[in-house]
Amino acid sequence: MKARKSKKRAPSFRKLLKTSKVKLDNKLKNKQYKQQSTAKKYRKEQRKLRQAVKDVVSKKPVPLEDRKHVFRAQRTEEEEEEEALPLDMMDEDDLQLLKDLGQMPSFLTRDLSSSEPVHVKKRKQESIIDKYEKVPRRLQTEPEKEVIHLLPIKDKCGIIPQTREKPVVNINTNEEEEQEEMEFEEVVTENPMPKLTTEEYIIERQRKLQDRKIHIAALASAILSDPESNIKKLKELRAMLMEQDPDVAVIVRKLVMVSLMELFKDITPSYKIRPLTETEKASKVRKETQKLREFEEGLVSQYKFYLENLEQIIKDWKQRKLKKSNVVSLKAYKGLAEVAVKSLCELLVALPHFNFHNNIIVLIVPLMNDKSKLISEMCCEAVQKLFKQDKLGHTSLGVIKVISGFVKSQNYVVRPELLKSFLYLRIKEIEVKKDTEDINAPKKFMSYKEKRKSLSRMQRKWKKAEEKLERELREAEASESTEKKMKLHTETLNMVFVTYFRILKKAQRSPLLPAVLEGLAKFAHLINVEFFDDLLVVLHTLIESGELNYRECLHCVHTAFHILSGQGDVLNIDPMKFYTHLYKTLFKLHAGATNEDVEIVLQCLDVMLTKRRKQVSQQRALAFIKRLCTLSLHVLPNSSIGILATNRVLMHTFPKTDLLLDNESQGSGIFLPELDEPEYCNAQNTALWELHALRRHYHPVVQRFASHLIAGAPSEGSEALRPDLSRRSATELFETYSMKTMTFNPPVMSASTSKKDKTFHADSYLNEDLNQLIRTHCNETTIQLPLDFTRYLKTSVQ
């Protein structure tokens, strides 16, 4: 029998995966209870032993003979005292009674304070413990103990139920026992380790960190070399997320999080792993298939545990919760949380097809509205990347549902970046023409009745095989049908528009309004025509309310014209009030804070004038060209370039506007620049004198555009623009020559001092004007300008 008995084998990884979480928890609790009871018993024995040793040291036993001598000495002392007392005051009977009582042993041991009579029967001497037990004490209502029902026992008499009291761990007694243990251990402890110097501590920390890095690299390389065989090493690597050494805990945990993220991105298959059914588990398979199944199960379980660890790290940082081990400080939790969020964002973008992707979305979306700007930007960028690369629309639909629900739960008090991510949706693909749908319509298979009517038995057999082959080819191609894509995109857009319309209705003063209007402008061509009238009324009401800032009003105008430029062409709507509003507010732009709003103005002008050229009158076009030229004088260079590029397009779109380049007036009346109505300001009676001022602008590109427009915006010849300027749109030129970095774009070319001096002497008109100005104010005939001031003037003129 001994030979047959073998050591208990450790359960396999696959068997551990099969056991439920409840069983594992029960096993862990039983093991902990056994350890606690054993430790408690050992502590009690040690405490009794220590108490016995203390009693032996503190008390010395007195033999019986010595006790007799003590009693005799006491008696002699008492007799001497009695002799000293005045006995003549007592009766003879009383003295005799005292003498008789003194000879009795009960007189010495009896408690005189008791009220018992003297003549009671002798009782056995009671110990101190018995007296203590006889003292009445208060009744304490003990709580009902929980009972654990065990398996019953079957006897001849019947079934006998078996129960056991559930052990209750007393925290106070455990703490007292632990304190006693600590006191006892403090006495026995050896001399403490010598303290390290700062230099030695740094060297030791670097050594530990290097060892951990080598270990992480070894595990990662082993997993990458053969993932199926070394899948168990993922668990070992994941265990390092709980690094307990306070010297290197933070860095090691960050390295492990990033390493696991890269490993999962590399070894994860390009399909979703589903759990096996009971039939599949019971069936016999080949070794290769069994090995693949174990790899997939291990990968999914470790991936799940890894995501749970990341979620726990973020929760600890959010709750400012310090662990009992106190290995990582509260300040370090933010760095760990940032790495955890970065890992989740990478997995969200890299593995949209794999398991637990919806769980990652639920974690990421609330973090898009986080107070930390870094974490919010990381999550928003990840969602935007996901929208850009999602061709089918299934993943985008899941994210949009979570975002819409989150915005509603927060009562529309969220960051605008949350809604700006909607602009990255790839929804333009749903716009498919009916002709192409009819041409590329999916082939429908014949029904059984149709086959029975029109085909013979042999033909039906061949037709069945052919249809089966076509279905397999479609599955192999993995190409989604246009109808399925249309359904996904339609559902996505419904969620987006529901969010937009709720904000327009309930939160009109919200900072989310610009993002909503921008989104409506982008997806306006997909809105149902029935809603156009209501939307235009709402947008005009928002503009006239006066509660919106300038940028929000521009978004309203842009949205309105986007709606009218698509399906709105069939509607007979004259948006004159939007033209008037934009024409009236153009001069709110300047070289200060509103310079960035020029980009939205350029987009509005493109939609209002260029794309709706058939609905725009010549008077309206002339008025806008004149006001834009005036505006280009007091904005930054990139804005001036964009505005002049827009004027160039308008001159090509409306050829009769070249009359603004002539000095002679056309028609009756005079130009009224202060009038807010573009149709009635008589713009045909003015000229673009601003272009001559812009020819002397310090920015070379502005000079080039001004000269080009003065020549009539030719496409060929010496005054024609370079291809890099003529082929770009106004918004692209605005972004290209942006001055966000506070530098000249393009940079000002440096030249030698001699060249600058020669050039300055060539431009004598500038020096003469300055001399004339100074002579007028200072009454001097001549003046010599300093060399530095001369260079400055020449640079500014260029």
Give the 3-state secondary structure percentages of the chain, helix then strand then coil, rounded to 5: 65, 0, 30
Helix or strand or coil: residue 615? helix
Helix or strand or coil: residue 301? helix
What average pLDDT does the chain have?
77
Contact (Cβ atoms closer than 8 angstroms) between residue 556 and residue 543? yes
Q: How far apart are the C-alpha atoms of 633 and 690, rounded to whole Å?
A: 7
Contact (Cβ atoms closer than 8 angstroms) between residue 573 and residue 564? yes
Place of tokens 């790839």: 426
Contact (Cβ atoms closer than 8 angstroms) between residue 161 and residue 152? yes
Instruction: Please give the C-alpha separations between residue 132 and each of 59, 128, 137, 403, 791, in angstroms, as whole numbers.
Output: 22, 6, 10, 72, 110
Helix or strand or coil: residue 573? coil
Q: What is the pLDDT of residue 436?
A: 36
Q: How far apart are the C-alpha atoms of 495 and 507, rounded to whole Å?
A: 17
DSSP 442: P
- Amino acid, res. 334: K
Residues 6 or more apart in contact with residue 454 via CB below 8 angstroms: 446
Q: How far apart are the C-alpha atoms of 154 and 151, rounded to whole Å?
A: 10
Q: What is the pLDDT of residue 160?
A: 82
3-state secondary structure 145-190: CCEEEEEEEECCCCEEEEEEECCCCCHHHHHHHHHHHHHHHHHHCC
Neighbours of 676 (CB within 10 A): 12
Structure tokens at 36: 């606690």
Q: Residue 234: exposed, middle, or buried by beta-carbon count in 10 A (0-12, 13-18, 19+)?
A: buried
Contact (Cβ atoms closer than 8 angstroms) between residue 533 and residue 575? no
With CA atoms as reference, report the closest residue to 610 among 574, 659, 645.
645
Q: How far apart are the C-alpha atoms of 312 and 228, rounded to whole Å?
A: 28
Contact (Cβ atoms closer than 8 angstroms) between residue 535 and residue 528? no
Contact (Cβ atoms closer than 8 angstroms) between residue 370 and residue 379? yes
Q: How far apart are the C-alpha atoms of 595 and 378, rounded to whole Å?
A: 28
Beta bridge partners of 162: 150
Contact (Cβ atoms closer than 8 angstroms) between residue 582 and residue 553? no
Residues 6 or more apart in contact with residue 197 via CB below 8 angstroms: none
Instruction: Please give the C-alpha separations between residue 753 and each of 766, 784, 792, in angstroms, as whole numbers.
Output: 18, 18, 12
Contact (Cβ atoms closer than 8 angstroms) between residue 627 and residue 692? no
Structure tokens at 311: 């979620």
Contact (Cβ atoms closer than 8 angstroms) between residue 582 and residue 608? yes
Place of tokens 């303290």: 195
With CA atoms as reference, report the closest residue to 441 among 473, 481, 489.
481
Structure tokens at 293: 């199944």
Q: Which residues of the chain have pLDDT under 70?
A: 1-22, 56-92, 94-95, 97-98, 101-145, 167-194, 321-326, 429-454, 474-481, 566-572, 665-667, 748-798
Q: How far apart are the C-alpha atoms of 705 and 632, rounded to whole Å?
A: 11
DSSP 673: T
Instruction: Return the ∠ at Cα 605 (arms to 603 and 611), rounded to 5°.
Output: 95
Q: How far apart are the C-alpha atoms of 263 and 271, rounded to whole Å?
A: 16
End-to-end CA distance of the chain: 105
Q: Kindly report the length of the chain.
A: 798
Place of tokens 């940079």: 747
With CA atoms as reference, report the closest residue to 340 among 241, 418, 481, 202.
241
With CA atoms as reference, report the closest residue to 746 among 791, 798, 696.
798
DSSP 607: I
Largest Cα–Cα distance of the chain, in whole Å?
161
With CA atoms as reference, report the closest residue to 420 among 407, 431, 410, 411.
407
- Amino acid, res. 429: E
Contact (Cβ atoms closer than 8 angstroms) between residue 36 and residue 42? no
With CA atoms as reference, report the closest residue to 363 among 319, 401, 310.
310
Q: How far apart are the C-alpha atoms of 247 and 206, rounded to whole Å?
A: 9
Q: How far apart are the C-alpha atoms of 767 and 759, rounded to whole Å?
A: 12
Q: What is the pLDDT of residue 26?
A: 81
Contacts 24+ apart (CB under 8 A), 27-36: 33/167, 36/169
Contact (Cβ atoms closer than 8 angstroms) between residue 239 and residue 260? no
